[in-house]
Structures are given as structure tokens and as C-alpha cells.
Amino acid sequence: MKNFVKEGQRLPLYGVGPAIVFGMGAVTAIGIILFAYVWKMGALEGSWVLFCRIAGALLIVLGLAVWFIGALRSDMDASISENRLQTGGIYAWVRNPMYSGWWMLFAGICLQWHNGEALLTVPVNWVILTVTLKLTEEKWLLDLYGQDYADYLKRVNRCIPRPPRTV
């Protein structure tokens, strides 16, 4: 099934996003279930519980905000359908705000279980996200936009939002 908005559009509207998000969600759920319920290991206690709950809630809210801005406030659908490289707004802070938002959200969910072993899912999800993006969307975008995208890669971080830098 092709998910193009209009004829002549060169990038799919959804790309590999659903696969990345599903993969990260599955890793998070499996990690929580295995470590917290099946193997019953890694539970943090004392003040760590409160720390994990607060940090987790903050990450969930931050992840939702980053996703919302990238998905619904950035005019990304129009950029894709017009084959235009989006580098303004939140895309000046992070190249993949929608995926970053999901990564932060899953990290926050994981923290809610205050389980040190389950936190291993966070770097696993990072690897899933990084490898998948490097092998798919970044290649597509480099092919489509050439040097403009290569310059953008140097200025803007892949998944962790930060102020833009000049190169």
C-alpha cells in the first residue's frame, strides 16, 4: 500500500515510522514484563521509586510535547507532499521529533516501573531508532535533497532536541 498524498510525491507520508514505534513499544513492554514480573529482578527501592516516577512522568510529558509539535504543529505533511525539506521550527532542534517523542515516552513509561534492569530497554530502543533511520529515511532524504540534507545532518541532532548549531 503506498501512502502518498499526491502524484509526484517522492517520499512516503509515514515512512518507516509505524515499524520503528511498534518495535520500540514491543521492546519496552517485553522488558518490563520480563524483568518486573517474570524474573522479578531489578526493582529499585526507597527514594529511587519517587525519582523514577517523577523523571518518568516528565519524560512522558516531554515526549508527548515533542511528538505533538513535530507531528501536528510543523506542517510536515505539506513538506512531504511538496518534496520540501523541513528545517524550521522544531526541525531546527531535532531531525526526527516524532520518533524522538516516542523514544522519550517509552523511556518514561519504563521509568514508571522503577526497575533498573528494565531500563536496559532505553538503549536498545535507541539502537533500533538510530540504525533504522540511518538505513532508511536518512538515505532517502540524502538522495532527494543532496547537499542541503548533508548540511542539515551536520547542524541538527538526530534524536535528542537541542538548540541548533552553526557549521
2 part of a folded domain: no
163 part of a folded domain: no
pTM of the model: 0.90
166 has a pLDDT exceeding 90: no
Contact (CB, 8 A) for 4 and 12: yes
162 part of a folded domain: no
5 part of a folded domain: no
Structural domains counted in the chain: 1
**Other CB atoms within 10 A of residue 162 CB:** 9
- Angstrom distance (rounded) from CA 30 to CA 126: 16
Q: What share of the chain is helix, strand, coil (3-state, %, to 5)?
A: 65, 0, 35
Residue 82's pLDDT is 82
160 part of a folded domain: no
At 139-149, the pLDDT tens digits run 989 999 999 99
State the helix-helix crossing angle for 137-145 and 147-155, rounded to 10 degrees: 130
At 14-69, the pLDDT tens digits run 678 899 999 999 999 999 999 999 999 999 999 999 999 999 999 999 999 999 99
Q: Which of 79, 98, 69 is nearest to 6 (CA)?
A: 79
1 part of a folded domain: no
Quote the domain boundaries for residue 116: 17-155
Greater confidence (3 vs 93) lies with: 93
86 part of a folded domain: yes
Contact (CB, 8 A) for 90 and 69: yes
49 part of a folded domain: yes
Residue 11's pLDDT is 66
